[in-house]
Amino acid sequence: MEGYEALYLHWLSGDIDPRDPLRPNKRFHDKMWIIDGEDEGAARAIVGGLNLANEYFRVDSAPINRWTDQDVMLRGPIIEDVVAVFDRNYAFFKELKEKRPALLNTDNSWKLTGDKLKKIAGAERPSWRRQPLVEAIDEVLTQEAVLEFAPITARFLQSRPRMKETYIRQAYDNLIDRATKTVLIANAYFIPSRGLADHLKSAARRGVRVVILTNSPETNDIRPVAMVSRHTYRYLLEVNEEEAVRAKAKQGAGLEIFEWAGAPFDEGTLHAKFLVMDGKEALVGSFNLDPRSERLNSETAVALRSNELAGQLQRSFEQELLPKARRISLEAAKQFRKPKGLDDKFELLFALPLKNWL
């Protein structure tokens, strides 16, 4: 289910704790695809930001439905950690389901549905088959996958706000604070907390080039998020006016913000969530730099150290993503806080009080 419709079902799931009124809003946003996880030699796992969705096959005539994302494939001992996280999530949902009242037990509902379907199995049913999509999938299946693995030092992370965990946010802070040359961030839904914004500004003051790429209101599939995101730009870009940054500007120091341009390049939403530090270390996962991922959603990410893989991500960021984005100036950032259009004013006025829930 797209967007926040699934939240209504979650309220009915029985996952309610009177001591935690936000609990029904704490979604599982993790993304893991595990193959043969019990066989260390053959096991593979794909983690990152991708969903299982039609948008990634890029067959829709509307550019907004052609998404760009970032995943990594893993093998080796780290698979044990990915499997452990999956099993932990599965055990949670299994226990939750078993505690539900009979009317909310999905096993009972599914059995009832199955019984009804058997009775009408002979009836003619409409087909929702999308031939262009089917053909695109068939074409993908005919192509031989070329997998190139590189040795890395890595750790698989999960953050569960319901358990007061902040491991992925800590990893972001750690990478930003240790950077000496560059911090490159691609993030779909960018609403940084004041603490994260201060880490980014501190890096710029040290002489680091900090580059942030996120969606514009035109490319964000949740437009109010982009409006609130723009509301944070001025605070970040003002660091470039400080003497500490100006003195090192010729060496590349400073903080830059780019917005994904979308339609002119036949692209839709940028859904990637990754960071590259100094071309040597990276963090790739499902974690958005927004209040939802920090305070509400369960998230996963892999933190890795590898010149080869981090270098590939850096080249992808600089050569494939940034050319399809437009840079935001400080003057533009100031204007974003005072939108001129009535629709934009109303949207920002509505979204700001809800930013911790978007």
Note whether residue 113 is domain-resident.
Answer: no
pLDDT at res. 14: 55
Note whether residue 90 is domain-resident.
Answer: no
CA distance readout (Å), 4 to 125, 128, 218, 253, 290: 29, 24, 19, 39, 16
pLDDT at res. 248: 96
Task: Give how many domains the chain has, as a whole number.
Answer: 1
Please give the residue range of the domain that contains residue 319. 5-49+60-83+153-354
Note whether residue 266 is domain-resident.
Answer: yes
**Dist. CA 282–CA 183, nearest whole Å:** 10
Note whether residue 342 is domain-resident.
Answer: yes
Bridge partners of residue 258, in order along the sequence: 213, 327
CATH code of 184's domain: 3.30.870.10
Q: Residue 183 has which token pair?
A: 């911090």
Instruction: For 245-283, write each residue's pLDDT tens digit.
Output: 999 999 999 999 999 998 899 999 999 999 999 999 999
CA distance readout (Å), 265 to 67, 121, 222: 12, 45, 20
Note whether residue 139 is domain-resident.
Answer: no
**Dist. CA 60–CA 133, nearest whole Å:** 8
CB atoms < 10 A from the CB of 201, how many? 21
pTM: 0.88
Note whether residue 228 is domain-resident.
Answer: yes
User: pLDDT in tens for each of the 358 residues of the chain?
Assistant: 344 545 555 555 556 667 777 766 778 999 999 999 999 899 999 999 999 888 888 878 888 889 999 999 999 999 999 999 999 999 998 888 787 776 666 667 667 777 777 777 665 556 667 788 788 888 888 988 888 899 999 999 999 998 999 999 999 999 999 999 999 999 999 999 999 999 999 999 999 999 999 999 999 999 999 999 999 999 999 999 999 999 999 999 999 999 999 889 999 999 999 999 999 999 999 999 999 999 999 999 999 999 999 999 999 999 999 999 999 999 999 999 988 877 777 778 777 777 766 5
pLDDT at res. 312: 97
Note whether residue 343 is domain-resident.
Answer: yes
**Dist. CA 26–CA 118, nearest whole Å:** 36
Dihedral sign, CA of 241, 245, 250, 251? negative
Note whether residue 129 is domain-resident.
Answer: no
pLDDT at res. 114: 72
